[in-house]
Copies of this chain bind each other. A is one copy, B any other.
Amino acid sequence: MAETASAVRVGIIGANGYSGIELLRTLSLHPHVHITYVAGSRDADGGLLAEQPFLRTLTAPAHTHDGASLAALKVQQFDPDVCAAACDVAFVGLPSGSAGQVAAALYERGLRVIDLSGDLRLPAEAYRTWYGRDPVPDAVLGAAVYGLTEWRRASIATAQLLSNPGCYATATLLALLPAVRAGLNRPGAPIVVDAKSGVSGAGRKAVQSNLLGELAENFYPYKVGRHQHTPEIEQMLDPDGGVRISLTTQLLPVARGILSACHVMLERPVTVEEVYQFYQDCYAAEPFVHVLPPGQVPQLKHVRGSNHCDIAIAVDERTGLLQVFSVIDNLQKGAAGQAVQNFNVMHGFAETEGLWAQPMYP
């Protein structure tokens, strides 16, 4: 797996967070990537591998094409000029609030930027409402392309500034877009999205409520009625604002994974076979989206550690509801994996490049 001449010089900002770690894991095996810059917020006397012992194995001879150089990398304090000099593309894996400014600074310096935060996903006014702070300047916001890969390939291919979708948004949109585009949902009736996520979605910051002692054997809803992925989903379902969702987010006592259960009032009677066939047609050519035959259900662990999304359909004739269930790994298809998928689209690489990992089961 020799490094190709066309290797892209890649920087990762936020290498100590869960998205950053996942980017390192994934990109270290990408045949067209040369990681040349890593920035993180923590003390960084040691090199990258001392900071992240679970990546230590990258130093193994012949283990990967740039193991040696990666081992030599230092986690730096972020500096936009240093980053711009070292990279062709930057992945920004910082929390919303600080990510947008970093992305803007790099965008303005001419880099192609893939931002994993929520800072570039909403129009200015909606951002203020749902995030409770000011957005980045309009010029930057206006340049951002929303990167739900399967539904936006043309725009992604030429984007300089890519806004990677939220984890809940990815799972929910992949589940709902076919139905809504086909007009299966009853106009005016809200779609109930009851979603559940592993705790890595909350980041790696030390917070009492995310201790294992608190979360083990636990489960509960949070941000009820006010999760910031709500408008992101609604605008993608219908830019004209014609679809309302009620998004309930809940915390699972697991590290990874999102299951989104979408309950849709049907506009007209349909059979599960019809809907299945329709979804199947919609996603048949997709390498990462899989529609399960009626009667099967998606499991969190069937996609864990991979960039895949499994979707299942049910129609409840008693109540006139269509139910669509989707599962993703929140750090892969919900963050780093989709970011790499978008990177591949942006560079004309095969979309599965670097993303071959099978789900880890058990």
Q: Determine which of B29, B211, B305, B315 lies in contact with A356 in the assembled complex, contact meaning CB atoms within 8 Å.
A: B29
Copies in the complex: 4
**Among A58-66, A137-145, A172-180, the stretch in contact with B:** A58-66
Q: Is A207's beta carbon under 8 Å from chain B?
A: yes
A277 within 8 A of B: no
Q: Which chain B residue shows the least CB distance to A203?
A: B213
Point out the residues of chain B lying under 8 angstroms from A253, CB to CB: 212, 216, 252-254
**Nearest CB in chain B: distance from A302 CB, A:** 4
In the complex, chain B residues whose CB is within 8 Å of the CB of A320: 190
Q: Which of A64, A224, A265 has the most CB of B within 10 A?
A: A224
Determine if A55 is an interface residue (Cβ-Cβ < 8 Å): yes
- Does A200 interact with chain B (Cβ within 8 Å)? yes
Please determine whether A255 and B287 come into contact, CB atoms closer than 8 angstroms: no
Do residues A219 and B300 form an inter-chain contact, with CB atoms below 8 A? Answer: yes
Contact among B57, B189, B290, B297 for A306, CB-based, below 8 A: B57
Binds B, one of A7-15, A113-121, A157-165, A242-250: A242-250
Name the distance in Å between A267's Cβ and chain B's nearest Cβ: 14
Q: Evaluate contact between B211 and A199: CB separation under 8 angstroms.
A: yes
Please report the C-alpha to C-alpha distance between residue A261 and residue B304 in the assembled complex, in whole angstroms: 25
Judging by beta carbons under 8 Å apart, are A220 and B352 in contact? no
- Quick check: B217 and A215 within 8 Å, CB to CB? no
The contact size tier of chain A is 35 or more
Please determine whether A300 and B220 come into contact, CB atoms closer than 8 angstroms.
yes
Question: Do A362 and B261 touch (CB < 8 A)?
Answer: no
A1-58 interface with B by 8 A CB criterion: 1, 18, 21, 25, 28-29, 52-58
Interface status of A214 (Cβ within 8 A of chain B): yes
A212 touching B190 in the complex, CB below 8 Å, given contacts A18-B362, A290-B57, A305-B360: no
* Alpha-carbon distance between A245 and B299 when the two chains are bound, in angstroms: 24
**Residues 181-215 of A at the B interface (beta carbon under 8 Å):** 189-190, 192, 194, 196, 198-200, 202, 204-208, 210-215
Closest to A205 in B: B208
Whether B244 and A190, one on each chain, are in contact in the complex, defined by CB atoms closer than 8 angstroms, is no
| Most chain B C-beta atoms within 10 Å of own C-beta, residue among A257, A298, A358 | A358
Known contacts A60-B287, A221-B261, A224-B297, then 9 further A-B pairs from the complex at CB < 8 Å, ordered by chain A residue: A18-B362, A55-B359, A190-B265, A194-B194, A196-B196, A206-B206, A218-B299, A219-B259, A245-B319
Q: List 8 A-B contacts (CB under 8 A).
A: A57-B359, A198-B217, A206-B208, A213-B255, A217-B255, A220-B299, A248-B323, A250-B259
Task: List 7 tightest A-B contacts by C-beta distance, closest first.
Answer: A190-B319, A194-B194, A60-B287, A218-B301, A54-B361, A220-B299, A54-B302
